[in-house]
Amino acid sequence: MFRKLIRLSSPLLLLFMFLPGLANAQGAASVPFTVISKVAEANPRVVALSLDFGKVLPLNWKLEQAFSVKAELLPVKSYAGDLIANSAAAKAPRTIVRAYTSASDKPGVPSEGKYVIIELEPNDFNASSWYFGFNPGFRQALPYGANMVYEVQLLHDLNAVVPNDSPQKPGAVLSTVKAGTVFRQTGAYIATADQFKPGKFQQSANKQTKEIGYTLYTPSDLPAGVKVPLVVFLHGSGQSHDTTHFANDVGADVLSPLLANQGGVAWVERAPEKAYVLVPQVPARDAMDTFGEIGWRAADTQKLLLGLVDQILIDNPAIDSRRLYLTGLSLGAMGSWAIITHPDPAISRKFAAAALFNGIPIAASHLAGKPGETPAQRDQRIASVIRDTNLSRVSIPLWLGHSDTDPAVTRIGSRIPFAMLSGKGRVDEAGTLSVEPAVLSGADQLVRHYRATSRTHGADLRYDEYQYGDGSRFRDLGMVTNNGHFSWEASYKDQAIIDWMFRQVKPLGR
């Protein structure tokens, strides 16, 4: 079988072109600043500005009242070239959370230095650095780039450090940065995400889908001989490759799965140790194989995914093959279920552990309602399909997450597998999960924690059910999207899940 790995030579898309220098009315050079974003629950958000004054400022950790920041988002164009009016946000103030001097050009600890870091409230309505809107069937991930316009004003003079005349005599001439100084926006980056590098992987022998795009994070400064894990994150339906607009280039929108939510970056930013992180993209979501499977569960896509993982292992000998981890949300969780229930043990046991959110261990086609079918009848039909699925092949530690009122993927998609795998619970016709008392390890108004071991393999088995209910407490759960299907926004911020995953090691001989 012909396999080929292609690395894209171009860097990740820069959000800004560097602008020519400006000068104020007195001819003094303007102060450049960089816009810093982070991947958040729904898209990248601008969280800080880094202002380079070019000369050292005395330590000051309370500069919130010294600056004013405004942002305007001009409308971006869709993949088809049409202006998206809803992507615009009028010029308005950004909320300053902290502002301080720093020796570093990145947010951190206040110190004497030439930079001022202005940290901003990420939930401001004009805080986005990428637009994630919906085209029929696919979310379009579009950078604001030069259409994201920031204005900075210095409202009060700031002292600059004056060199001593001699070791015994301090400097006597006052040096200040004047209010009204001109600032110019010179660059931008997305923390962590910009360190993922894009690529393509090919399998020409596949019948239908022959290529997959991905981004890969490679940890830096690994000591010689050290082995570290690889985490594979499988995205949901909305971040699949847009075959309508990019039929011949699977790499054109490959940043979408990485930037849409924290499912990829969490394994870098929250990891207790260094790790490789692979974020592939479904190349042809709706291409149905001979078994009626689509998305991550389609035969060619699954071959591409597993072949890509194997190639990444070959190319990166620092990866510990006994610490391969799999995680996915929604469509990605469904694809992950197909891997860990695969009849070939080399596939079902390939990963040391899996964390799956808002998924179900059957084909997505079963989720669609039948003509005249009530929601209760649909769930009973789906329950029957799940119970007929051979879950005994699941032999690895597994952490499931779901909300109690998921409108897209019914909660029984996690409840029934947990009951079946543990053998210590049951789900009735109404979809209610009942367990032995010791299995419910903790519960409050927001989350119910179920803990057990699988009855066939003795592997650690966990299930967290988020009490989304009517949505009135969704922000208390750590979500920003008021939709029960999006409870993965809470899951990928749960440090316990991240730490649990990194503790898992595949037994020798498997």
- Which run of H or E residues covers position 337? helix 331-340
Higher-confidence position of 139 and 389: 389
Residue found under tokens 């500005």 = 49
Higher-confidence position of 8 and 158: 158
Identify the bridge partners of residue 329 per DSSP, sorted by sequence position: 357
- Which run of H or E residues covers position 280? strand 276-281
Can you identify the CATH homologous superfamily of domain 193-503?
Alpha/Beta hydrolase fold, catalytic domain (3.40.50.1820)
> What average pLDDT score do residues 16-22 get?
35
Shortest CA distance to 329 belongs to which of 458, 230, 240?
A: 240
Of 128-132, 258-262, 290-294, 500-504, the least confident: 290-294
Determine the pLDDT at residue 31.
97
Shortest CA distance to 268 belongs to which of 327, 344, 209?
A: 327
> What average pLDDT score do residues 18-39 get?
68
Q: Give the DSSP letter string of 187-236.
A: EEEEETGGGEEEEEEEETT-SS--EEEEEEE--SSPPTT--EEEEEEE--
Confidence check: pLDDT of 20 > 70: no
Higher-confidence position of 1 and 46: 46
Of the candidate CATH numbers 3.40.50.300, 1.25.40.10, 3.40.920.10, 2.60.40.2180, the domain formed by 31-191 belongs to: 2.60.40.2180
Determine the pLDDT at residue 28.
56
Residue found under tokens 């879950």 = 391
The first and second tokens of residue 361, run together, are: 């261990």
Confidence check: pLDDT of 21 > 50: no
Phi, then psi, of 426 in degrees rounded to 5: -150, 155
Determine the pLDDT at residue 137.
66
Find out whether 494 and 262 touch, Cβ atoms under 8 Å: no
Percent of the chain with pLDDT over 90: 85
Q: What CA–CA distance (Å, rounded) separates 390 from 398?
A: 16
- The residue ranges of every structural domain in the chain are 31-191, 193-503
Find out whether 203 and 304 touch, Cβ atoms under 8 Å: yes
> What average pLDDT score do residues 310-324 get?
98
Determine the pLDDT at residue 138.
75
> What average pLDDT score do residues 356-372 get?
93
> What average pLDDT score do residues 17-43 get?
70
Q: What CA–CA distance (Å, rounded) separates 136 from 131?
A: 16
Model confidence at 22, pLDDT cuts 50, 70, 90, reads very low
Q: Give the DSSP letter string of 299-311.
A: HHHHHHHHHHHHH
Radius of gyration of the chain (CA): 25
Residue found under tokens 């990829």 = 264
Per residue in 415-463, pLDDT (tens digit) is 999 999 999 999 999 999 999 999 999 989 999 999 999 998 999 999 9
Determine the pLDDT at residue 134.
66
The first and second tokens of residue 437, run together, are: 């008392």
> What average pLDDT score do residues 277-297 get?
94
Residues in the chain: 510
Task: Centre a 10 Å sphere on the Cβ of residue 264 and count the other Cβ atoms it contains.
Answer: 28
> What average pLDDT score do residues 331-337 get?
98
Model confidence at 135, pLDDT cuts 50, 70, 90, reads low
Average pLDDT along the chain: 92
Longest dimension (CA), the chain: 91
